[in-house]
Amino acid sequence: MGCLISSMACCIGSAACGCISSCCPTMRSSTTSRIMYSGILLLMTAISLIIRIPGISEQMKKIPGICKEGKYQPITGGLVSCEDLGTYLFVYKVCFPVALFFFLMSIIMIEVRSSKDIRAPIQNGFWLWKYLIVIAAIIGSIAGMPDSFAYPWMIIAYIFAFIFIIIQLLLLVDFAHTWNETWLDNAENKDRSWMCGIVFFFSFNFVAIIAGNVLLYVFYTSCDSNGLNIAVITINIILCILVSVVSILPGVQEHNPKSGLLQSSVISLYCTYLIWSGFAADPSGCNPLNTNSTTESDTAADHNSNIAPTLVGIAITFFVVLWSVLQTSSSNYSQKLGVGGEEGALLGCTGTSADGGSDDIEDGKPRVYDNEEDGVAYSYSFFHFMFMIAVFYLMLVLTDWWNATTDSLVSGAFSKTSLWVKITSSWICYAIYCWTLAAPAMFPDRDFGYA
């Protein structure tokens, strides 16, 4: 009971202690704040996924007061139109207020330098109110957002989602380098068995890459107009081989000795996924998963979406978000982007005065302490911008990059734009990774932070 009361006090108040202060190990306020904001992102995704489970929306229609027959009856007849419940348009209405919340937080937190700033408590406290505001805003958006807003909202989402994909690529490249470097250090300084782990994972990744590209050839080149698909898959295979060879070249190894096949296998596997998800969103006859058609009913069309690419995309997005929140490396891309965790964030902290806390933490009293009195551990404003564009990206992933036209709001039609966004993104990812390999050799006097 004491734990619950303490947590509720932190949620309601402005103290930078978070809702988990008295129940979890000692942590920094900068870390707990990012975890709590990740919870808002998770809440939005969970609502969107649950409502799209086949049969859930039909069951919800039976609940009195949930939906109204017809789209333009007064709101008092229900929160949302029964025709919209469970469709892609419904996902747009759920995501809109969450993106707006992070946008406003990004504006409010511009130029916050330390926890002594008068705006800092807004960042690190009032968690109960924040969650209640977001939930209330989602309900209001579902009830009041006009259908005609979907198309301009989609255009905005495409722009910011592409930006998020680029940042996501940077963070994934950072993850690949950090993973390999950490395990190599463990193999050299602790136990050689860590090297077996590296061999296992890069072997597993390369088997998955080969199998994935073979399956792409089998399932996505059986149509008459298969020239584009064959070319894209072939280019992807060539690039997989190219980055693998480059990663073990003597010149690259000389300036970046921890470069290896594990990083290249992670990048190649992710790029192969991008190609697959792009093909899965292709409206042409070359897509065997495309069961949508303009003759199908609105709700049925939405429920025939390709769930596998959607779930994988969501999982990767949350992994990247959590990596940027909880990773421990202090010299990497995510730190330079302003979203990375400070040293020790993933493992908690000692709580000693030298670490920014106080010695009484060592008495076994877990709490969240303020570690940002002398300066923030990450850019508050850019952090919220990152989460805002992550909302846009998740919204498009959850709706299969839906083409929201004003005359076909719930058609479930796929967009060719998604195919080219994914293909282009995979090529950019290869280019970014190759740059991380070549840059130390080209500019040996510069510190790139990942070598």
Per-residue pLDDT for 314 more than 80?
Answer: yes
Beta-carbon neighbour count of residue 227 at 10 Å?
11
Paired tokens of 237: 């295979």
Q: What is the pLDDT of residue 336?
A: 45
Q: What is the pLDDT of residue 257?
A: 77
What lies within 8 Å, CB to CB, of 137 at 6+ separation is: 97, 98, 100, 101
Per-residue pLDDT for 323 more than 60?
Answer: yes
Ranges 284-298, 304-318, 349-363, 424-438, most confident: 424-438
Task: Single out the residue of 278, 280, 211 nearest to residue 240, CA to CA.
Answer: 211
Paired tokens of 5: 């009361």
DSSP, collapsed to helix, strand or coil, labels residue 62 as coil
Per residue in 72-102, pLDDT (tens digit) is 444 445 566 676 676 788 888 899 999 999 9
Residue 25 binned pLDDT confidence (cut-offs 50, 70, 90): low
Residue 114 binned pLDDT confidence (cut-offs 50, 70, 90): confident
DSSP structural state of residue 369 = E
Q: What is the pLDDT of residue 211?
A: 94
Tell me which H or E stretch contains 197.
helix 193-220
Tell me which H or E stretch contains 88.
helix 88-108
Q: What is the pLDDT of residue 357?
A: 45
Per residue in 134-186, pLDDT (tens digit) is 999 998 888 788 877 888 888 898 888 888 888 887 888 788 878 888 888 88
Provide the sign of the torsion angle of the four alpha carbons 172, 313, 409, 47, taken in this order.
negative
Residue 52 binned pLDDT confidence (cut-offs 50, 70, 90): confident
Beta-carbon neighbour count of residue 158 at 10 Å?
17
Q: How many Å apart are CA 121 and CA 256, to the nearest integer?
A: 42
Q: What is the pLDDT of residue 312?
A: 82
Q: Can you say how many angstroms the Cα of residue 129 is from the centroid of all Cα atoms in its chain?
A: 24
Per-residue pLDDT for 212 more than 50?
Answer: yes
What number of CA atoms fall less than 13 Å from residue 428's CA on the CB side? 17
Beta-carbon neighbour count of residue 340 at 10 Å?
27
Per residue in 354-396, pLDDT (tens digit) is 344 444 444 445 456 566 777 777 788 888 998 999 899 888 8
83 vs 420, higher pLDDT = 420
Average pLDDT score over residue span 315-337: 60
% pLDDT > 70, the chain: 67
Place of tokens 């086949």: 54
Per-residue pLDDT for 12 more than 70?
Answer: no
266 vs 361, higher pLDDT = 266
Place of tokens 């932070």: 449
% pLDDT > 90, the chain: 14
Per-residue pLDDT for 339 more than 90?
Answer: no
